[in-house]
Structure 1
Amino acid sequence: MSDTDARRTWTQQRRFEFLEWKMFWENRVIRSDLESSFGISTPQASVDLRNYREIAPGNLEPTARGYRSSAKFKPRFLIPSADRLLLQLRAALSGVIPKSDLWFREVPPVEVAPDIARSVSPECLRQLLMAMRERVGLEIRYHALTGARRRAIAPHALAFDGHRWHVRAWCCDKEDFRDFVLSRIDEIGETKPVQFDPEHDIEWATKVMLRLRPHRGLSPEQSKAIELDYGMVDGRLEIEMRASLAFYFIRRMNLDLPASAALTPERLQLELENLDTVFAQIQESKEKTKALVTDLKNTHGGHKQ
């Protein structure tokens, strides 16, 4: 982006991005699109179109009612992303964002299989975020599969495992860093001082590289389909993530399960080339945290408050 682009106001940049979005995804734009989407006057919309044509000459072709993208159209303010657009469509259909936030003149026919929502209390999340900012602990009532009990935790991060939101926290009772599913917290008590350091959460700090490939039980044609699905390069896909999240990802994708009559290669689709290495790294990070906490307890009298 040039210095001139950088000097433009955010609202101007946003309207130019909108023009390019309309041209890229709908291949047309008219003045009233700007007026209705941004609440601007007809003269201002005309100025925006004139200015854009001066900035990006040749990008627009006039039509009877407005403009369309030219054959040599090249976006300057928009970074086209199919993933972003599909996420917005999903969010709109799920009620997460209003459909008015979409820039389509007419939303294309689309349907989304419903999610099984896990309800998280806004007040619960608010108090957890406050505790994270102020580096304090609090008491929660947590419903594990083994039953409900009160826990004293000091949260330091949030994490999404693909299905559920967790809070990553120092567990005062177990003297270890653990994950707590947000939807299973139904009571939060008063805050209290807790001596802990998020940097001691080695499992959170450690990054591991997962090397995925099509399952070896697939045919060459099936493997090619999987490579296209995930944008693999040379039949491989490398994904880096925190060690504390890798376990959830591996379990969610069934990467730790062998093929069987119920889980055929066609159903598994992927396998983790370095499964043993990743599990070893996860275990090593856990042991490093445990050793670090033990050393700190011996030196300073412990974390527990």
Structure 2
Amino acid sequence: MQYLQYIKPAITADTSTLSAANLAGRRIEAGAFSHSQWLRLCYIERQLLWERRLTTTMLMETFGISRPQAQKDIKLYQRLAPKATKPYQLGIPYHQPTEGFEPVLLSGEDLQWQSIENYAPPSAGHATEIPMLKRRHNLPVLARLLSAIEHQRSIEAVIATMSSPKGRGRRLTPTAVAFVNNRYHVRAFCWDHMGYRDFLIGRFMSNPKVVKAPRSVKDWGENAPAFERCNGVPPEVDTEWKQMIELELKPNPHLSDEQQSLIVSDYELDQGGAWKRITLRKPLIGYFLVDNRIPSSKVEYDVAVQDNPKAWPVFAYITYSNRPAHEVGFKSD
């Protein structure tokens, strides 16, 4: 996964002239900085977004720069995004993002997670690249959800789903974010369904707003809604998210021996005489199957067995059993 997408240069003024006022309402762009400084500023924002902390040492070790240069970069970022970091707090040896932190450098079109460099596809005449369909992302929503998880907040937002394509209000207590191929999901306790569900972040139609649990439900009586009755704390632990399941990957046994050998080579399924294995959280198994063209339902499994095994070259089983992985299932919304 890539972490930042470059934006066509637009701001060319000296960085000393950039202020919160003249940057309001527009994304800060790479053309305003040297290439190396732009990477460091984006790294600062990456740390605040994902790690929820930033130290001078992180910058020094990642980019091989001096402490004065790292401190200078942090101060520059704080001028560009004055509402991004909390004021210095005695006893906390790192910079923290504010609860309302939103990125001003990173692009929402390609929400990158790990790397801090963006490489263009090859442009030689003998090489080409097939484009991937991109899912819509919402970077401000992602930032607010990560903040809600960090501070253990519940939120309200209008969210579209396949069952409610126009969107409807939901009250959620988010607990984790997962990146699945080209899209982000938030794992949350849904107070409508009274259970943990997955929601596509790109389908949030409004920015999440923090909902504070009431201090008392006496005025509600016996008719108190679940959120108020539980004081905003999910009544159950997300045991499925904590459950790690190991899968064993094999070629479709309904292919010929020669075809199976080819699939083993294609997907590097032979791991020193044993089948390739992968460990996932239980709710993420369904996504893994779909994105890797592995039967993710009984219907697909039956087709792969009886009708068209070539279209489903790899099967996944729960390790130490013949149970197909699709039987584990997952819930999404």
Q: TM-score range by the shorter chain?
A: 0.5 to 0.7
Aligned-partner SS, 1:226: helix
Question: 1:133 Cα deviation (Å)?
Answer: 1.1
1:157-172 residue pairs with structure 2 within 5 A?
157-172=176-191
1:266 to 2:315 alignment = no
Computed over aligned residues only, the root mean square deviation of the Cα atoms, in angstroms, reads 3.8
- Separation in 1, partners of 2:186, 2:258: 42
Q: Is the 8 A contact 2:140 2:207 kept in 1?
A: no
Q: Which of 191, 215, 222 is the aligned partner of 2:259?
A: 222
Question: 1:161 Cα deviation (Å)?
Answer: 2.8
1:1-305 residue pairs with structure 2 within 5 A?
10=61, 97-99=117-119, 110-147=127-164, 148-193=167-212, 195-196=232-233, 200-233=237-270, 234=273, 236-252=275-291, 253-255=293-295, 256=297, 257=300, 258-259=302-303, 264-274=308-318, 276=323, 278=325
The structure with the larger Rg is: 1
Q: Is the 8 A contact 2:178 2:186 kept in 1?
A: yes
Q: Is the 8 A contact 1:227 1:235 kept in 2?
A: no
Q: Report Cα offsets for 1:107-146 as digits up to 9, x if no partner.
A: 8964322121111122111111111111101111111112
Aligned-partner SS, 1:187: coil
Q: Is the 8 A contact 1:153 1:169 kept in 2?
A: yes
Aligned-partner SS, 1:208: strand
Question: 1:99 Cα deviation (Å)?
Answer: 3.7
Equivalent residue number for residue 36 of structure 1: none
Q: Is the 8 A contact 1:156 1:198 kept in 2?
A: no
Structure with greater proportional helix content: 1
CA 98–232 in structure 1, closer or farther in 2 if over 3 Å, else same: closer
- Separation in 2, partners of 1:119, 1:12: 31
Q: Is the 8 A contact 2:137 2:183 kept in 1?
A: no
Aligned-partner SS, 1:236: strand
Question: 1:244 Cα deviation (Å)?
Answer: 0.6
Identity %: 24
- Separation in 2, partners of 1:136, 1:235: 45
How many residues matched?
195
Q: Is the 8 A contact 1:203 1:282 kept in 2?
A: no
Gap regions ≥5 residues in structure 2:
1-59, 66-110, 214-231
Aligned partner letter, 2:131 = P
Q: Is the 8 A contact 1:119 1:183 kept in 2?
A: yes
Q: Is the 8 A contact 2:153 2:212 kept in 1?
A: yes
Gap regions ≥5 residues in structure 1:
1-8, 15-90, 287-305
Aligned-partner SS, 1:151: strand
Aligned partner letter, 2:151 = E
Aligned-partner SS, 2:303: coil
Q: Is the 8 A contact 1:124 1:186 kept in 2?
A: no
| TM-score for the superposition, normalised by structure 1 | 0.54
CA 259–155 in structure 1, closer or farther in 2 if over 3 Å, else same: same
